[in-house]
Structure 1
Amino acid sequence: MYKPKDSSTSPRYTGVRTFMRLEQVQTTEDVDFVVAGNPFDTAVSNRIGARGGPQHIRNSSILLRPYNPDQGINIFDFCSGVDYGDFEIVPQNIHRSYDIVAEQLAPILEKEVVPIILGGDHSISLGHLRAFAKKYGPIALVHFDSHSDTWDNYFGEKYMHGTPFRRAVEEGLIDTSHSIQVGLRGPLYGPEDLTDPVELGFQTIPMRKVRHLGQQEVMRQIHERAGNKPVFVSYDIDFVDPAFAPGTGTPEVGGPDSFEALEYIRGLHGLNIKGFDLVEVLPAYDSGEITAALASAAAYEMITLIAMRKRDRLQAKQNERLQSNF
């Protein structure tokens, strides 16, 4: 069983920085999840620097503790996990990086271990989805973002952080009939930026509609859309209003606050989630490190979902045994 160091007996400022002070071990044995970095960031259209995102999030995560009071669970009573380190990537070579990362994900997915991948810019999701689709077939995507990332190209380039989900649809990696994008907002080049993801098959809930519907209804629609399909959750930190997450490459005002941002993750409990990525954290613009604090809390809530799913399965088995005795 792998769990974090106890910061009541081992000071937080000691040791190598890992997520939540987990052991840094590249293993798929006796673990339910791994936290891994994907520090590729040379496919952006504005600010560069998200390569530092994984370590920035780890640095903040030392304040996290194993008991999640909002979900009422001690995570490591039910699951085991490690900090897997960073995936190897090739700076400025997106295609080789995709291939290398997909290859490194394969043994993790083969063991049904849930990866929580810290980016990096959003272009990295295409490589992740290639690995997941190879394991699970076309997967349901639950995507929180201020941008749909379904452009056909930018600067004439087909592979950058604004295009991964169009490429994923074209490659048959996503089951769009079970996929949804939440939080879209901000000025656009034209109305096609809104209609393109719908034409590709996604359900979209722009941020203005999110406010009109309310969080509970949005979560109901997410669950209805995803159903029982294997799910990949992609969470761009610019989904959150830049007042609460300034450290990102393409900030858009008018998003959720930090509490709401975490509630959207908590509300995913019950989905058949196979993996997560959390992208576009940019340390250089992170005033007071508040983006890192939120991002580490978001990853923590993702881990909590894994623990809750395992707890629910254990309880279901116990109930089955009790019923069989009558």
Structure 2
Amino acid sequence: MNKKTSNAEFQPLDSGVVPRFAGFPTFMRLPIAQADQVDVAIVGVPFDGGTTNRTGARHGPREIRNQSSLVRRVHHVTGFSPFDRFKCGDCGDAPVNPLDLMASLASIEEFFAKIHKARARPLTAGGDHLISLPILRALAKKGPVGLVHFDAHSDTYDSFFGNRFNHGTPFRRAIEEGLLDPKRVIQIGIRGAISDSSNYDFARDQGVRIVFIEEFAERGPKAVMAEARQLVGDHPTYVSFDIDALDPSIAPGTGTPEIGGITTREAQAMVRMLDGIDIIGADLVEVSPPLDPTGATALAGATMMFELLCVMASSRR
């Protein structure tokens, strides 16, 4: 089987035939596939070795799979079904070593390099935010890409406890390694007290556009996303959505929550405004199911992944 195979073989299970609570849990009830069979490889990275506060994001991919059984086929606003235009499949989890951070970074990069070689675009469920670094290493080998980044935190710090590889540093490392063009990076929803007044100096000095939550509230989603679209242009762009961009009253199951965040409605609207952008890949990170036994945070993550899938499909139409 290859990518010339009919889309009929890459459809979600019909909930009228197999109830949503039955069957094997896969992302959006899609079939298990290999990267060379699909246009979008939906994958998990069950790794939280980069967390600096509360752990548990290693369980994110499994619970997001469970909650994604509630994802339907057709987007209610656009009337668009990504499954009819795109071959999508659950391509499993990247291999990780819970006792060796650097070995995990290497194995994650290798996993995504194979997806990239197969010419599939990855849509990833994390895992903590450090996973974005090895993914970018795999996708940006030919040159730096742009980034639309939804988060409460800039993640451009230098180190914690002397360690330069953790979930607060991935985008600093990515800029230093030439994986991101900092002048085509926009970070939306940033908020919360910081440990030092210089915490944002690196990002600002590099030309990263930081939209703090106060500016977002004043300008609104449309104006902010119009700027984001203009900033990344028609060049290859990666999208990273940290679930803590959302207010913790909505998504409490995350390691470093910050009050005063974005609503799910605002987040959905903003992702939809990425329609037509050349998205080379996207991730949804920092869902920690043990911190939210209700499953609401994982459901928010699964729903945002469907929104991302729709705009990824649109960018390839």
TMscore range, shorter length: over 0.9
By how many angstroms is 1:7 displaced? 0.9
Alignment partner, residue 103 of structure 1: 110
CA deviations 1:24-69 (Å, max 9, x no partner) are 122322x210110001101111101100000111100101111111
CA deviations 1:57-92 (Å, max 9, x no partner) are 110010111111122212222111100111101113
CA deviations 1:153-203 (Å, max 9, x no partner) are 111111111111111111111111111111110011122123331112211
Give ranges in structure 2 of 5+ residues lacking alignment.
Answer: 1-6
Distance 1:162 1:107 in 2: 26
1:247 maps to 2:248: no
**Aligned residues of 2:32 and 2:91 also touching (Cα < 8 A):** yes
By how many angstroms is 1:141 displaced? 1.2
- Taking every aligned residue pair, what percent have the same amino acid on both sides? 42
Structure 1 ranges of 4+ moved more than 3 A: none
Counterpart mapping for 1:70-109 below 5 A? 70-109=77-116
Q: How many residues are treated as equivalent by the alignment?
A: 309
Alignment partner, residue 71 of structure 2: 64
**Aligned residues of 1:34 and 1:84 also touching (Cα < 8 A):** yes
**Aligned residues of 2:35 and 2:118 also touching (Cα < 8 A):** no
Counterpart mapping for 1:105-254 below 5 A? 105-134=112-141, 136-254=142-260
Cα RMSD, aligned residues only:
1.2
Give ranges in structure 1 of 5+ residues lacking alignment.
Answer: 312-326
Q: Could you tell me which amino acid in structure 2 is paired with residue 209 of structure 1? A: E
Distance 1:74 1:164 in 2: 33
Alignment partner, residue 26 of structure 1: 34
**Aligned residues of 2:146 and 2:182 also touching (Cα < 8 A):** yes
Q: Could you tell me which amino acid in structure 2 is paired with residue 282 of structure 1? A: S
Alignment partner, residue 17 of structure 1: 25
By how many angstroms is 1:287 displaced? 4.7
Alignment partner, residue 324 of structure 1: none
TM-score (norm 2): 0.95
Q: Considering only CA atoms, is the larger Rg found in Structure 1 or Structure 2?
A: 1
CA deviations 1:81-121 (Å, max 9, x no partner) are 10011110111322111111111111211233110111011
Q: Could you tell me which amino acid in structure 1 is paired with residue 58 of structure 2? A: R
TM-score (norm 1): 0.92
Q: Which secondary structure state, in structure 2, belongs to the residue aligned with residue 73 of structure 1? A: coil
By how many angstroms is 1:309 displaced? 2.6
CA deviations 1:186-243 (Å, max 9, x no partner) are 0111221233311122111111111111111000110011011100111100000001
Alignment partner, residue 50 of structure 2: 43
Q: Which secondary structure state, in structure 1, belongs to the residue aligned with residue 254 of structure 2? A: coil
By how many angstroms is 1:302 displaced? 1.0
